[in-house]
Structure 1
Amino acid sequence: MPLLLRWLLLLLLMQGAARACGPGRGAGRRRLASRRLTPLVFKQHVPNVSEHTLGAAGPAERRVARDDPRFRDLVPNYNADIVFKDEEGTGADRLMTQRCKEKLNTLAISVMNQWPGVRLRVIEGWDEEGGHAADSLHYEGRAVDVTTSDRDRSKYGMLARLAVEAGFDWVYYETRGHIHCSVKSESSQAAKSGGCFAAESTVQTPGGRRALAELRVGDEVLALDPATGRLAFSPVLLFLDRDPAPRTLLRVRTASGRTLALTPSHLLPVARAGGGEPEARFADAVRPGDALLVAADAGSAGGAVRPDRVLHVDAEATRGGVVAPLTAAGTVVVDGVLASCYAVVGSHSLAHWSFAPVRAWHWLTAWAHAAPDYAHPPPPARAAPAPAPAPAPAVHWYAKALYSLARFLLPGTMLYK
């Protein structure tokens, strides 16, 4: 497998060069400099939804106090290019989640590029004194209030736009004196590397319906055959992620009564109005009125898929954890709804291509086991082996490697943020 990984690294580098993205994700973002950035106006926020919705920074969880176990997840920011007000004298303004720190450091670079000699200034970070609204993300280290070091208020509209470009999940030109920026929770799937389905969701196998939590590598599940466009059984090659911890998922309900629970960063094929190839969208970009593809009948091999209008998209916590199987087809029918096996990268075809070495390895080993060995006849038949143990909870190492490469090689517009 190390040889296959080196081969894939070379191909991805070639892919990045072919896309003329330059050396990494930053290069993809630098192309934005060629267009005119529009400053935010007073009281404008991006995206244009409430801060606590899943399409923005997400719901508040609970306050983080110094004696809370989650306090250890906050990291200090000692970036010399950022001025921290720290009026409390406790260093609290330097404490934030890792995701918030990454976005803030990116913003600091943008500020220096935009206004040479000017630095980013943080006037409020993690709050332990109760100075904000009850559901403020400052209490969790997920929000910062920023200005420029010269305190020139004429710059704040552009500062807000730079914060949007830096990748903050919600940016608000809150007052004449500062810009409020916040990020998704580290424990939410939006801040994680992969995408999954609720473990209690079911799939169709040749022997009947089974819960995703019961699946093992080698099991066959219903998927869409890309060659025929019809439903067919496809083997599970590996599990991209498996985690027994509860998570908050999106629950998508369709007009025919199908319900699919999955993470916001998972890809779903959305039917186009005029037919043709479906459009891949992240789950949290699916809206009521869109049409997902569902099994047209009871969900059998050889069947077809049809569009089914989305009625509701809600957030709901799961109790049984999450599972993300990877099939040879790259798709899977979960609770009657067709879904991609991939997440984070906004292109199903690119993600499927990236897992070509995994499929090649699977077919190669299957062929090697199936080829007859005439020099060494098989031993006498024995009792069937015990079922394979369930995979350990983890993101698969190959998926981790690809996610890391994607964030380095692909433009930010192709990645879930």
Structure 2
Amino acid sequence: MTSTHQITAGFLPLLDSALLVAAKEKGFAAEQEIDLTLVRERSWATIRDRLAVSHFDVAHILAPMPIACNLGLTAPAPRMIVPLALGLGGNAVTVSAGLWNEMAECGALPDLDARSSGLALRQVIDRRKGERLRFGVVHPYSGHNYELRYWLAASGIDPDRDVEIGILPPPDMADALTAGIIDGYCAGEPWNTLGVLHNRAHLATVKAAIWKSSPEKVLGVNSRWADGHPEALAALLQALYTASLWCADTGNHEELAHLLAKPAYVDRPAESLLPALAGLLHIGGGETLSIKDFFVPNAKAATFPWKSHALWFYTQMVRWGHIRHTTERQQIANDTYRPDIYRSALKSLGIAMPAASSKVEGALRLETPVGSSGALTLGPDGFFDGGLFDPDDVDGYIAIQSQS
């Protein structure tokens, strides 16, 4: 039988490509009459470029990158929309054994607490008296870069003066650490686990500790394709949401790990993927630690494309000198994330959805039922330093950050 929709999606070999992989391998895409072709790439720049020239219709992509493309910060720059997120969390900050030992001497504990580990890193930098540590991130316009910078700055470390931050593909991070090219990196799984297991690395903190319930990868869609194929896009969103439910079921984690481990996908042993799926991570020194909400595929509106997430990323682009703030640019960032398309596509599934398109990030200190049915629970979503981001006061937030 011929499928109604032909869709080509790009992805990188990371745990958070899980929704796309499950949609294809478990038949959720086929149920929506989609012939879904997945193409593995090595770098986010290639993903962006192939979206721009319509080699890909959609892609597993860094949450800030579609905003950067629409703002003209990167070329070639496809006009993009984000109608769905691919989960929450999934990152960690990993450091060399040597750096971790120094941090431990300065009070860092193996509990991945962002505040104590950041303060310990601050002391290590002071001890080194001008010798700058080097950190790797996967792309300038990545959650990794902005969260690493947020963590450093809130710990009293200037990300542009006290350390160096460079760009490396995720598969190269652990080897660069072993070779002494970098002292640490912020990346998605399985590259932190592999660094610990094979490169004597140690986790310093995790995304879920820096900013709870925060976005990581999203579905980036070439807007020309979206405009011309609304039915195909809606069908894909339904397939991916169904996949998110399957991925969230703990009873499916072993099968999911084996699917992701295939050569066409992450191409790493399933046992290196299971820890992050279960939230029981190898942190270094032979120890493991249970991390609540390390990677969330479905709960807490994990697939919802919050406009407040888009605007927070925009404020970080402004904060770190990637772009100058204007009302027009803020509007472009706001309009990149499309909860209206999400709601329209998934309405027939009868799922609980947020009534609002934005929220004050960091306001929910506890898990909180929302909506009249109480069927949807959000939070906690706090920043580790207690900060709040009100998407209705972007000017005020930018002003406060410029002083810190």
- Common fold, TM-score beyond 0.5? no
TM-score range, shorter chain: under 0.3
- Structure with more of its chain in strand, by fraction: 1
- Structure with more of its chain in helix, by fraction: 2
TM-score of the superposition, structure 1-length normalised?
0.25
TM-score of the superposition, structure 2-length normalised?
0.26
Point out which structure has higher relative CO (alpha carbons under 8 A, 6+ apart).
2
